[in-house]
Structure 1
Amino acid sequence: MKRALALGIAALVVTGCGTSAPEGTGTNDGRGPITFATLKDGTGTVPKLVEAWNAEHPDQTVRIIDLPEGADGQRQQLIQQAQTKSDTYDVITIDLPWNAEFAARRWVTELPREQFDVDGFFAAPLKGSEYRGKLYSIPHFTGAGMLYYRTDLLGRAGVAPPKTWAELKAACAKVLALPEAAGMSCYAGQYDKYEGLTVNFAEAVGSAGGQVTDDEGKPKLDTPAAKAGLDFLVSGFRDGTVPPDAITYKEEEGRRAFQQGKVLFHRNWAYVHALMNATDGSSAVPGKFAVTVIPGASGPGVSTLGGNNLAVSAFSKKQATAREFIKYMTSVDTQRTHAKGSAYPMTRTAIYQDPELRAKYPYLQVLQDAIVGARPRPALVRYGDASSAIQEQVYAVLGGKTTPEQALSTLQRQLAEFAQGA
């Protein structure tokens, strides 16, 4: 999954915000042709699924509208449509952490839980689809960060995949001493100033035993665990564990670095597996890597939950059809077909037990374990402001422009303000 991409089992629901959630299931409960505003699918799988729906529903056809590539552009376009109360979009794709904001702003409609088969979803994505105990979106894709590592080089050095940060650095010391590893760096994630930095920071804090916010949305960055998590990122740049140019890495830059044999360990999403395992000459590492859960301070780490949800625009005039289409797109049968056509991580647990899919995607068990243990990003109504603040402060620390202590103090104050309301 490319957006992941692009963040425990319980969502961090804010209870003190100043706006209320939509009530009921909307007043425009009609049927007919609808639009589906979603991420562009390079595999062609989503268009085929829509074609299958259209063949069965000639009076309720679906037209796909591609959203911008970047998450920021997607959010901006959806907000513009909502603020003008446009009925151009019927079903919309939203990042999981946007659920609280869109529900609180009355931009999406509450979904009647009894109309959806919710028992088969992973617990964390489903919980993140709620706002104040009510359901406002349905998990479509999910995901969790995994640690990619070079099996060939670790094998030659007699090193096991690391479970802790200390083991990761010790493994690098041994492996990078090999002649075959000359010129390589140890580890890289996503550290450019964008949503991926928020994800990596939240993972570092969680993997040190902390939380960015608690279950009530209150910030918890004035803790030793938060300091330990940020120190892990900072020390990686200072001691050479992380290459200097990783300060510009998003998902694709890091993927290319690992794929070209420049880094030994790499944190990324599931979608990069097929790209790095390509045998057409585009990758230098096919058959030479595997995945495991990300490491933590004292044991396996905690990934930040990724994924996208499907919701019904509050301004749609055909909400009955919109709900039916969401049920179709998130059903077990459709998800199984979708998974066979693309590597997007599905949200129903049954998909991860399918023998055919397990053979096709050897990382499925690791991914399932990572999703089960993952934590969502803070479900704040002002999530966009919170993420921007985290990016600004953490990037400044990694660039040596401020101290971890000062950055965490500033974030503690800023996130407390964002948690107060809209």
Structure 2
Amino acid sequence: MADLHRHRARVLAAGAALALLAPLAACGSDEDGGTPVLNLYQFPVENFQTVVDRCNQEAAGKYRIVYQVLPRQADDQRVQMVRRLAANDDSMDILGMDVTWTQEFASADWIKEFTGADKTEVENGTLPGPLASAQYDGKLYAAPNNTNVQLLWYRKDLVPTPPTTWDEMIQQAQQLKQQGKNPYQILTMGAQYEGLVVLFNSLVASAGGHVVSDDGKKAVMDAGTVKALEVMKKLATSGVTSASFSNAIEDDVRLAFQSGGGAFQVNWPYVYASMQGDAPDLLKNVAWARYPGIDANTPSVTTIGGSNMAVSAYSKHPDLAFAAIRCLRGPDSQEYLAVNAGQAPSIERVYDRPDMLKAYPMKAALLDELKNAAPRPRTPAYQNLSTVVAAQLSPPSQIDPERTAADLRKSIQDAIDSKGVLP
């Protein structure tokens, strides 16, 4: 997930290959004649066991959730899940999924549809962007557990008024450089991995473009995508990015900014908590704003991150799994994890709770973006698509907008058709 609620960068082919060799976690099993066990497979989340313990207490013996902790890297997580699901493994009950996996898993009939009261419960108050990430083919297949969007972080002692567009930000950074002021750099993710795809997708969405058709079956790459590529090329060759831009992932950007290496940072909200602990003096001079747009007259659109919970199609206790998800991703759980694990809630009303103001002082900007955030290209072949897009956009300085768009159109169509790319 380049979403990365708490910085979980992708490791593409290499990480996936290693995961194939990793032993599978031991599973909880039903006690003879006792309480049914629900195995929850999810990435590591700080303090999540506390949520599991509370939900088990509230279940009062109806079920017992066992938290099976997956590896930290998103691709490693996916490979372990896919391997088990492809084998019809009935020891999996609840799946903690990256938002990009919903369509893939639903199209493979690996997860159950939310219907009736379960569907109503999820839809009630969930922000539109996260909810869209849980849908496939007009049906609901998952429950958004948390969400995320990137913000613009800037040095207010250097930049009194934040830029509203990428062009304006580049211009401001160049002016700082010309004036001999330091830092002046724009810091964001440019390495060949999911973070680069997120940057591209946000720029495409901000330009009103489309990478794939609405049904996810055809590569589009329209004028909006060409405009996005022009902005990426301009940024990479502007002379105001860091020397490590083409190799930078989220934590590289975070560390560089909080070490005083940039005037601007485009990154996820977790950087605020990091600065609170590691750079409190710098934080006094840092402010945040909406993600930069393409056109000053059109609000920006940024890519949504986060995770969803789904019920395995092979679970022996699907009804209990749906019930457990109500608790695991309910308002109280989301508030607790927002405050204690840095996970932004997907339920809008949670942002109104008193504890959220201290944990998320940027919540107004976050909510503003979340209300019109863009999903990543919605296709069951997203993993293939992400791999080829990251490869062809790296390094960003070598982008030739028209030619790159044409090359991407062909490569993305091949990825959708599963030609020449390992899933």
TM beyond 0.5: yes
| Distance change >3 Å, CA 31–CA 109, structure 1 → 2 | farther
Q: Does 1:85 align with 2:85?
A: no
Q: Please report how far the alpha carbon of residue 185 of structure 1 lies from its aligned counterpart in structure 2 after TM superposition.
A: 4.0
Q: Quick one: which amino acid aligns to residue 76 of structure 2? A: G
**C-alpha distance in 1 between matches for 2:206 and 2:114:** 34
Q: How does 1:62-77 map to 2 (within 5 A)?
A: 62-77=65-80
Match of 2:233 in 1: 234
Paired residues of 2:7 and 2:251 also in contact (CA < 8 A): no
Match of 2:171 in 1: 170
**C-alpha distance in 2 between matches for 1:338 and 1:378:** 28
Paired residues of 1:385 and 1:418 also in contact (CA < 8 A): yes
| Distance change >3 Å, CA 167–CA 380, structure 1 → 2 | same
Q: How does 1:308-327 map to 2 (within 5 A)?
A: 308-327=307-326
Paired residues of 2:384 and 2:416 also in contact (CA < 8 A): no
Q: Please report how far the alpha carbon of residue 328 of structure 1 lies from its aligned counterpart in structure 2 after TM superposition.
A: 0.8
RMSD: 2.2
- Matched position secondary structure for 2:63: coil
Paired residues of 1:3 and 1:71 also in contact (CA < 8 A): no
Q: Please report how far the alpha carbon of residue 349 of structure 1 lies from its aligned counterpart in structure 2 after TM superposition.
A: 0.6
Q: Does 1:416 align with 2:413?
A: yes
Q: Quick one: which amino acid aligns to residue 33 of structure 1? A: V
**C-alpha distance in 2 between matches for 1:162 and 1:92:** 40
**C-alpha distance in 2 between matches for 1:284 and 1:69:** 31
Task: Count how many residue pairs are aligned between Structure 1 and Structure 2.
Answer: 386
| Distance change >3 Å, CA 378–CA 5, structure 1 → 2 | farther
- Given candidates 151, 154, 179, the residue that maps to 1:149 is 154
- Matched position secondary structure for 1:171: helix
- Matched position secondary structure for 2:257: helix
The one-character-per-residue Cα deviations of 1:108-156 (angstroms, maximum 9, x if unpaired) are 111224224112101121122111121111000111111111112223x
- Matched position secondary structure for 1:244: coil
Match of 2:64 in 1: 61
- Matched position secondary structure for 1:395: coil
**C-alpha distance in 2 between matches for 1:108 and 1:275:** 35
- Matched position secondary structure for 2:148: strand
**C-alpha distance in 2 between matches for 1:178 and 1:66:** 50
Match of 2:105 in 1: 102
Q: Please report how far the alpha carbon of residue 31 of structure 1 lies from its aligned counterpart in structure 2 after TM superposition.
A: 7.6
- Matched position secondary structure for 1:147: strand
Paired residues of 2:8 and 2:73 also in contact (CA < 8 A): no
Identity of aligned residues (%): 27
Match of 1:33 in 2: 37
Paired residues of 2:389 and 2:408 also in contact (CA < 8 A): yes
Which shifted more, 163-172 or 191-200? 163-172
**C-alpha distance in 2 between matches for 1:211 and 1:98:** 19
Instruction: Return the TM-score normalized by structure 2.
Output: 0.85
**C-alpha distance in 1 between matches for 2:334 and 2:262:** 34
Q: Quick one: which amino acid aligns to residue 72 of structure 1? A: D
Paired residues of 2:42 and 2:96 also in contact (CA < 8 A): yes
Q: Does 1:132 align with 2:137?
A: yes
Q: Which runs of 5+ in 2 are unaligned?
A: 11-33
- Given candidates 402, 406, 415, the residue that maps to 2:403 is 406
**C-alpha distance in 2 between matches for 1:82 and 1:314:** 8
**C-alpha distance in 2 between matches for 1:345 and 1:379:** 22
Q: Quick one: which amino acid aligns to residue 125 of structure 1? A: P
Q: Quick one: which amino acid aligns to residue 93 of structure 1? A: G
- Matched position secondary structure for 2:263: strand
Q: Please report how far the alpha carbon of residue 188 of structure 1 lies from its aligned counterpart in structure 2 after TM superposition.
A: 2.0
Q: Please report how far the alpha carbon of residue 282 of structure 1 lies from its aligned counterpart in structure 2 after TM superposition.
A: 4.9
Q: Please report how far the alpha carbon of residue 50 of structure 1 lies from its aligned counterpart in structure 2 after TM superposition.
A: 0.7
Which shifted more, 207-216 or 47-56? 207-216
Q: Please report how far the alpha carbon of residue 418 of structure 1 lies from its aligned counterpart in structure 2 after TM superposition.
A: 4.2
**C-alpha distance in 2 between matches for 1:63 and 1:393:** 41
**C-alpha distance in 2 between matches for 1:167 and 1:79:** 44
Q: Quick one: which amino acid aligns to residue 127 of structure 2? A: F
Paired residues of 1:113 and 1:135 also in contact (CA < 8 A): no
| Distance change >3 Å, CA 361–CA 303, structure 1 → 2 | same
The one-character-per-residue Cα deviations of 1:167-206 (angstroms, maximum 9, x if unpaired) are 2123223434556x43x24212211111111111111222
**C-alpha distance in 1 between matches for 2:103 and 2:225:** 24
Q: Quick one: which amino acid aligns to residue 92 of structure 1? A: L
- Matched position secondary structure for 2:295: coil
**C-alpha distance in 2 between matches for 1:248 and 1:196:** 11
- Matched position secondary structure for 2:283: coil
Q: Which runs of 5+ in 1 are unaligned?
A: 7-29
Paired residues of 2:301 and 2:373 also in contact (CA < 8 A): yes
